[in-house]
Structure 1
Amino acid sequence: MPQMPVEPTSPPVQFQLREPVSVSSVAATCDENMVHVQVKKDLFGSGELIQASDISLGGCGVTGEDSVAQLLYFQSYLQACGSQVVMTNDSLVYSFSLTYLPRAISDTSAPIVRTSGAVIRIECHYLRLHNVSSNALQPAWVPYAATKTAEELLVFTLKLMTDDWKFERPSNIYYMGDLIHFEASVKQYNHVPLRVFVDTCVVTAVPDAAAAPSYLFIQNHGCLVDSKLTGSSSRFLPRTQDFKLQFQLEAFRFQQGDTGSLFITCLLKATAAASPTDAEHKACSFVGHKWAGAGGEDQLCSCCDGSCGSRKARDLTSVSGMWTWRPFFSFCLC
């Protein structure tokens, strides 16, 4: 039988697979409220020019084109074109997806593409700066945004609660001997989880927090001293949620003065829930002849009998807001 001819051995071929080279074909700039993106039409550096209709920024089309320089342009507000915002401890990050989906050259005769699809992530980073107001608000039955920088929004509230703590109390009239239930909270919009604190609370007979007579019943960065000074049942309740803090105060009036209305000014603070509590961020009550923390931080409360210190420099890990209610609560002495 005839044998198959033997093919001569080919000499070794010098071959090296050429891998794609990274190209810088996308550039982005971020300003106060917009992002600007520039894309080379030779997106992959292969010589194949993409079509403007095949690329979008979060679903938004091309806003400009330079046919000479072979460039495509996009422009968008930070909150538009499918952007996503993420809050970190120190930054506000807006992210966009630049998506290239090549269409077939022809739906019928040539259902092919010459380039691959791609998704390119574009991010705008903004440092968070806190602009904290220390001005009292009058009246204050309206939530106050304590700080708003870029898209950061924190809303602190301090509400009167019913005896079972389930609802906001519809009346601010109390009788001597009543327990006044307060709930402080912070709402965290686009923010890392927060923990709220009541730093100070002072009661006065007029809307001026510096007026006399006055009673500073929460002081020293979260020490509720009323129960120690008067033997009352005033205290912080055990904390069950980081963004809420409940406390109760026995109703009273000033020895001198018969206005029937009292005014309260409180400083509320919030820190990242992941941050550890310290001597300047705590909630302490004097219960059973000793200091106890609402979140179990008893050891931090030992300074309540002395001085818990003060920051020498501004602490950018916390934010605060101050309010005055007018009137905050009234007494019917019948």
Structure 2
Amino acid sequence: MMASFWHSAVLLCMAVAANVAQEDMEVDCGPDSVTLRWRAARSQMDASLLRLGDCYPSSVSAGEAMFQVELSDCNFRRMVTGDTLMYMNELTSMSAPKAHLKSVFQSYPVVCAYERPADWAPPIFDVVLFHTYGQGDLVYHMGLMTDDFSGPHLSREYPLGSSIHILAAVEQKDHQPLLLLLEECVATTMPELQPAGPVYPIITKGCLVDSMTSNAKFEPRRETSEIRLSLKAFKFTVGEEVYIHCKLLAWDPSGLDTSRKACHYVKGHGWELLDDPSHSNLCSCCDSSCKSQKRRGIPSGKLGQTQNAVLGPLTTTDNSPA
């Protein structure tokens, strides 16, 4: 797949700003790396102060800085739009030791764009274990993760009482800040929801109802566009295949209310709002029925549209003595 990917790559090496000349910066987008050369002959800048994302120059000499970095490093942001896969970053300068040097350099975009293969999937996740879903121009991901959320969980079997870690994310792209919520999650024995089939409720209207009887909880966010969920392998249908169905929602971070939220139950304390415990009163309806309500001022567009996602199959095993 990698060979066909790069044979069809369309390099769009953008290091463009109105006041940047071609001789100042050269960008070469390789298969999985970027080489950037900055010449500071006209700007009198200390080239050692340059940063590509959070990366220092690979080499500095006589007013020239060279970066040779991987696309997986330096905080490159990945964006998928239609048939194009883009990696974006910025070249910036740290504060110069002399005040008059601060104004001679701005941040400049550095973008490498490639033709997106039809079978492309996020490279750090196995396509079987980490699923991708599309909703208009929003791209969602959802997967089963290791205990520290550093990568995909490679086994589909979970001993009864062990932890199931789930990560869901929406690609930020060029949108305003997005807050990802899990509106509904249930476990079933079917890859498609059936009206008459057995259902184990996990999340209802943003309330992690499973946390009332287990150690299930929302983990602290790393960023607003993703949400992390930890469950205990439940005694639903031990030994049978189970699928977890969820509704994902991209929402306005400032628009939380009783119908758009992420709440879990903390024993001895009560319901707690993941994103701001001081406003846990939004979770008070979790003990009764949280009704949807319309809010004024919430931006239109893709916000408020849900995306259905399913994980599985996974199996809960019971190794306790009969």
Cα pair distance change 1:312/1:282, threshold 3 Å? closer
Deviations 1:214-264 (A, max 9, x none): 111100x21001121x2x11011233311111111100232xx55521011
| Structure showing the higher helix proportion among its residues | 2
Q: Is the CA contact (8 Å cut-off) linking 1:140 and 1:324 kept in structure 2? A: no
Deviation at 1:288, TM superposition (A): 2.2
Deviations 1:112-166 (A, max 9, x none): xxxxxxxxxxxxxxxxxxxxxxxxxxx88430112x2xxxx21111211111122
Deviations 1:97-125 (A, max 9, x none): xxxxxxxxxxxxxxxxxxxxxxxxxxxxx
How many Å separate the matches in 1 of 2:229 and 2:255?
21
Indicate the percent of aligned positions where both proteins have the same amino acid: 35
The one of 197, 201, 209 equivalent to 2:181 is 197
Residue 235 of structure 2 is matched in structure 1 by 253
Residue 162 of structure 2 is matched in structure 1 by 178
Establish whether residue 268 from structure 1 lines up as the match of residue 248 from structure 2: yes
Deviation at 1:180, TM superposition (A): 0.4
Residue 43 of structure 1 is matched in structure 2 by none
TM-score by length of structure 2 reads 0.53
Matched position secondary structure for 1:226: helix
Counterpart mapping for 1:201-216 below 5 A = 201-209=185-193, 210-216=195-201
Residue 144 of structure 1 is matched in structure 2 by 133
What amino acid is aligned across from residue 222 of structure 2 in structure 1? T
Deviations 1:202-224 (A, max 9, x none): 111122323421111100x2100
Matched position secondary structure for 1:242: coil
How many Å separate the matches in 2 of 1:144 and 1:310?
25
TM-score by length of structure 1 reads 0.51
Counterpart mapping for 1:1-334 below 5 A = 141-146=130-135, 148=136, 153-209=137-193, 210-219=195-204, 221-228=205-212, 230=213, 232-254=214-236, 260-273=240-253, 275-289=254-268, 290-296=270-276, 297-311=279-293, 316=300, 317-327=303-313, 329-334=314-319
Matched position secondary structure for 1:318: coil
Q: Is the CA contact (8 Å cut-off) linking 1:268 and 1:321 kept in structure 2? A: yes
Cα pair distance change 1:241/1:258, threshold 3 Å? closer
Greater Rg by CA: 1
Deviation at 1:184, TM superposition (A): 1.3
Q: Is the CA contact (8 Å cut-off) linking 1:205 and 1:259 kept in structure 2? A: no
Q: Is the CA contact (8 Å cut-off) linking 1:204 and 1:211 kept in structure 2? A: no
How many Å separate the matches in 2 of 1:187 and 1:159?
14
The runs of 5 or more residues in structure 1 that have no matched partner are 1-138
The runs of 5 or more residues in structure 2 that have no matched partner are 1-127
Residue 37 of structure 1 is matched in structure 2 by none
Deviation at 1:285, TM superposition (A): 0.6
How many Å separate the matches in 1 of 2:312 and 2:275?
31
Q: Is the CA contact (8 Å cut-off) linking 2:142 and 2:311 kept in structure 1? A: no
Deviation at 1:326, TM superposition (A): 4.0
Deviations 1:40-96 (A, max 9, x none): xxxxxxxxxxxxxxxxxxxxxxxxxxxxxxxxxxxxxxxxxxxxxxxxxxxxxxxxx
Residue 81 of structure 1 is matched in structure 2 by none
- Give the paired residue count: 184
